[in-house]
Amino acid sequence: MLKLSRIGILLMFCQFNSLYAQRGDFILSVYADTYYSWDNSEPVDGWKQYVTQAARHNEFNINLTAFTVTYDDENLRGTITLQTGTYPFRNYAEPNPLGQIINEANIGFKIGEKNWIDMGVMGGHFGYESAFSLDNELYTQALVTEYTPYYQTGIQLSSQIRENLTLRAVVVNGWQNIFEGEPISGTGFNKSKSVGIAADYQYRDNIMFGYGNYAGNEGNETTGKKYRFHNNFVASYSGSSFSSALSVDWTRQELLTANKKGNVLFITWINKFDIKDFLSIGARYEYVADRDQILFSTIAPGFQTNIISGSINFYTSDHSAFKLELKQYYGEENIWTNGSQPVSNNNFMITGGFAIRINHITH
């Protein structure tokens, strides 16, 4: 009887798969991002401080290669992206090595006319920049992008409230987690789930406003519950030859080592000037202050810096680009170290990267 049931389930799945395969599109995508970077602080272990993108100093390397399969029809969708490179190695601090090769793995289904439910490993539900350098105004990402979730695991409800208003709500495994604690023994020390909402409002064809938040417990069995509340505000303008985006992020959290609360502030302003079809210039200013070291870990008394970045972007085709970026850090604290000693409050980096994405659609 059990064998017949399994056969029946298999036949139902094959029929379902055949039905949807006839209706939807499969998109196969290959992405590659290579780079060379020089960090003037010359880290002794070769890893640049405070970043996960283009993270190796004075060497040619692969930042991110990804292979993506996407399925999409009017009622069902799904994505799986496998990855490798210095970015996932540096950023995906998962207890299981399997977590480092998963960029996305999710499936979603439509409810009603304008609602979707997606479950699995997904991109963060708020923020402006992408983890893929080809999609951004500059080659590297801002620190606010690096220190808020690139990815999360859970369930998301998205709803098209009006033509110009989209809402999202999530329940996830925490702040940029794939697994909760140790996936083998199941004895992780923070099993709390976190929640968040986000909204995108298209004010005009070229002006958009966005808001997103996150609320969850970042403590463990030793520290007890320590709640984090993060807010992200974005306003963006996109013209025919100029685009600009301003984001303000504010985090409030109970400190892990004290019975008080601390704050983190990010202010990020990104601009892009299109000179020719094949040439653009990107510019970015950042202010970051984490006096209580909630998100940033440093041997200085606290983390504070200003960052000015400029990128010259050469688009070699519609799906590839070479970007050359200069970046200057300067601030109050000596956050740049030589081994275990703080040595400077400023730093300079130069990075060149080439990225390409090739898509193939099958019906």
pLDDT at site 333: 87
Q: Residue 10 above 90 pLDDT? A: no
Q: Report the domain count for the chain.
A: 1
| Averaged pLDDT, 149-164 | 96
Closest CA to 26 of 17, 34, 35: 17
Q: Residue 306 above 60 pLDDT? A: yes
| Averaged pLDDT, 97-113 | 91
pLDDT at site 19: 47
Q: Which amino acid is at 135?
A: D
| CA–CA separation, 20 and 30 (whole Å) | 24
pLDDT at site 178: 87
| CA–CA separation, 323 and 104 (whole Å) | 25
Q: Which residue has the higher pLDDT, 362 or 349?
A: 349
Closest CA to 263 of 275, 274, 253: 253
| CA–CA separation, 292 and 304 (whole Å) | 10
Q: Which residue has the higher pLDDT, 98 or 239?
A: 239
Q: Which residue has the higher pLDDT, 179 or 136?
A: 136
Mean pLDDT for all residues in the chain: 90
261: domain CATH number?
Answer: 2.40.160.10
Q: Residue 27 above 70 pLDDT? A: yes
% residues pLDDT > 90 (the chain): 75
% residues pLDDT > 70 (the chain): 90
Contact between 217 and 190 under an 8 Å Cβ cutoff? The reply is yes
| CA–CA separation, 243 and 313 (whole Å) | 14
Structure confidence by residue, pLDDT tens digits, 166-205: 999 999 999 998 887 654 444 446 688 999 999 999 999 9
Containing structural domain, residue 225: 2-362
Q: What is the DSSP string of 173-224?
A: SSTT-SSSS-TTT---S----EEEEEEEEEEETTEEEEEEEEEEE--BTTTB
Structure confidence by residue, pLDDT tens digits, 319-354: 999 999 999 999 988 899 876 677 899 999 999 999
